[in-house]
A and B are shown apart, each in its own frame.
Chain A
Amino acid sequence: MPLVISLLAVIVLVVIALAGTGSLGLQYLFGVIFPYAALATFLIGLVYRVITWARSPVPFHIPTICGQQKSHSWIKHSKLESPYTTLGVIGRMALEIFFFRSLFRNTKVDLKKGPRLVYGSEKYLWMAGMAFHYSFLIILLRHLRFFAEPVPFFVTALQTLDGFFQIWLPIIYITDGLILAALLFLLFRRLYDVKLRYLSMAGDYFPLFLLLGIAITGYLMRYTTAKADLVEVKELAMGLLSFRPVIPAGLDSVFYLHIFLVSVLIAYFPFSKLLHMAGVFMSPTRNLANNSRAKRHINPWNYDVKVHTYEEYEDEFRDVMKAAGMPVEKE
């Protein structure tokens, strides 16, 4: 059911864009207003969510570590798995952000015949995740050729590297193939395993379908005869960037469909699980050093508790205590 809902949602979006820019002629809405609105939603929403997180107190010092903490000099300290210093935390975060280290430890449980419960390593999710995220990053950076004049050197370099094999014309980019394979794997992974299918919700399928839609409309414009006039595409993009929006005459519905789906994706960001992009930085189980035995973590909720120390207690009751024959510290 969540699968059907997400697929239907994306199909409805496709129909909206095709109808809007086809017969209704709302090119300005899809080419200018939606992209601006989506970008504003993305930026404001993301900053708002991050600030909301930053305003929530972290009552406990709760890094989830998986290595030996710093203790005696003769016990080997695992500096990255159980960081003690800020530098260690930065190292651990960098491994998490650039290499998805915690996902690399992913395991799966299977009930084999017997019945026998088997735990095993499961690296495919990590592999597909890496393939997807890095392909997406490179594709995003490659798109800067539409958004920057002159085209920065690193964009050209990425293009050359990505089209290294010089297959087909226009040259097929490696990342274009990788991202499709990764997205399809991530989708079928959810469908293949009964347990995972049971856990998957519309919010899990929708981004996958949306990204597949974006990728496919991109392929259509690059590799098939539905080619877009790239100079006009860049004209539109540069118009948006300089706040002098123009709608070039020759752009087809495929192009508007592509940017409409991208607009939906970036507007959807702050409301969805895609926000792990910012959330990974804000996770107290990862961004804290495991030094709670050396440094006291004060719960920000703590108010000034009125305490009655033993000294004060004794001062108050010294005479009574003495009379009852109880030992006192000060005579």
Chain B
Amino acid sequence: MYDAGKVITGIVIFLVLITFPFWFNVASGNATYKPDPKIITPNEQCMADGEYMKRNHMDMLDEWRDLVVREGQRTFVAPDGKTYEMSLSNTCMKCHSNKADFCDQCHNYMAVYPYCWDCHIEPQETTYGYK
């Protein structure tokens, strides 16, 4: 092999960089960490089922915002016929008031930093700012 020193150095640098996720998680010790969003009001019924909410809650909140802010419509009729007030603070957070143990669990895990709290007042239990 010609220029073995340079070529092997290059290959080693490449391998170290490309395997970053492998050794990063070993170093951080979080390889088996799983988020654990806590439901603190297990007897209440959410307006949609959990699987749907897990994937689509952001779309629903987005839709609600447009309906409330731009069209002044405040009543939401759920698939099961019940009506709810379209409000993050008053409806959603009535049950899910534990932002740090509920919202932030998955959001931090997935590095999602929604801008809900740019306008809404954040629940008092947490300190302000991104973690």
| Chain A residues within CB distance 8 Å of chain B | 43, 46-47, 50-51, 54-58, 144-145, 147-152, 155-156, 159-160, 166, 169-170, 225, 227-231, 234-235, 238, 241-242, 244, 250, 278, 281-282, 300
Provided the pairs A43-B18, A149-B25, A225-B56 are in contact, do residues A54 and B1 lie with their beta carbons within 8 angstroms?
yes
Instruction: Enumerate B44-86 residues with CB–CB distance to A below 8 Å.
Output: 51, 54-56, 58-59, 62
Instruction: Enumerate B3-61 residues with CB–CB distance to A below 8 Å.
Output: 3-4, 7, 10-11, 14-15, 18, 20-22, 24-26, 28, 30-35, 51, 54-56, 58-59
User: What separation, in Å, do the CA atoms of A228 and B1 have in the docked complex?
Assistant: 47
Among B14, B31, B34, B111, contact of A151 (Cβ-Cβ < 8 Å): B111
Among B14, B15, B25, B55, contact of A242 (Cβ-Cβ < 8 Å): B25
User: What separation, in Å, do the CA atoms of A144 and B110 have in the docked complex?
Assistant: 10
**Closest 5 pairs (CB-CB, A-B):** A147-B21, A151-B111, A242-B31, A149-B30, A169-B62
Interface size class of B (residues with CB under 8 A): 35 or more
Counting residue pairs across A and B whose Cβ atoms lie within 8 Å, the total is 92
Q: Is the CB of B59 within 8 A of A54?
A: no
Provided the pairs A47-B11, A54-B1 are in contact, do residues A231 and B109 lie with their beta carbons within 8 angstroms?
yes
What's the minimum C-beta distance from B64 to chain A, rounded to whole angstroms? 11
The residues of A that contact B35 with a CB separation of less than 8 Å are 231
User: What separation, in Å, do the CA atoms of A43 and B15 have in the docked complex?
Assistant: 8
B2 at the interface (CB under 8 A from A): yes
Q: Is the CB of A242 within 8 A of B32?
A: yes
Q: Is the CB of A51 within 8 A of B1?
A: yes
Among B1, B4, B18, B31, contact of A238 (Cβ-Cβ < 8 Å): B31
Residue on B nearest A170 in the bound complex, by CB: B58
User: What separation, in Å, do the CA atoms of A183 and B17 have in the docked complex?
Assistant: 26
Residue on B nearest A53 in the bound complex, by CB: B7
The residues of A that contact B54 with a CB separation of less than 8 Å are 229, 231
Among B22, B25, B113, contact of A156 (Cβ-Cβ < 8 Å): B113
User: What separation, in Å, do the CA atoms of A55 and B113 have in the docked complex?
Assistant: 50
What's the minimum C-beta distance from B119 to chain A, rounded to whole angstroms? 13
Q: Is the CB of A54 within 8 A of B7?
A: yes
28 intermolecular pairs with C-beta atoms under 8 Å apart: A47-B15, A51-B1, A54-B1, A54-B2, A54-B4, A54-B7, A55-B1, A57-B2, A144-B20, A144-B21, A147-B25, A148-B20, A149-B25, A149-B30, A149-B31, A149-B33, A150-B30, A151-B111, A152-B24, A156-B113, A166-B115, A169-B58, A229-B51, A234-B110, A238-B31, A241-B21, A241-B22, A250-B51
Chain B residues touching A, majority SS: helix
Q: Is the CB of A58 within 8 A of B33?
A: no
User: What separation, in Å, do the CA atoms of A231 and B36 have in the docked complex?
Assistant: 10
The residues of B that contact A241 with a CB separation of less than 8 Å are 21-22, 25, 31
Provided the pairs A148-B21, A149-B33, A231-B106 are in contact, do residues A50 and B113 lie with their beta carbons within 8 angstroms?
no
What's the minimum C-beta distance from A122 to chain B, rounded to whole angstroms? 32
Among A145, A149, A227, contact of B55 (Cβ-Cβ < 8 Å): A227
User: What separation, in Å, do the CA atoms of A56 and B20 have in the docked complex?
Assistant: 30
Q: Is the CB of A228 within 8 A of B21?
A: no
User: What separation, in Å, do the CA atoms of A123 and B4 have in the docked complex?
Assistant: 37
User: What separation, in Å, do the CA atoms of A199 and B109 have in the docked complex?
Assistant: 47
User: What separation, in Å, do the CA atoms of A238 and B106 have in the docked complex?
Assistant: 15
What's the minimum C-beta distance from B56 to chain A, rounded to whole angstroms? 6
User: What separation, in Å, do the CA atoms of A114 and B73 have in the docked complex?
Assistant: 68
What's the minimum C-beta distance from B95 to chain A, rounded to whole angstroms? 20
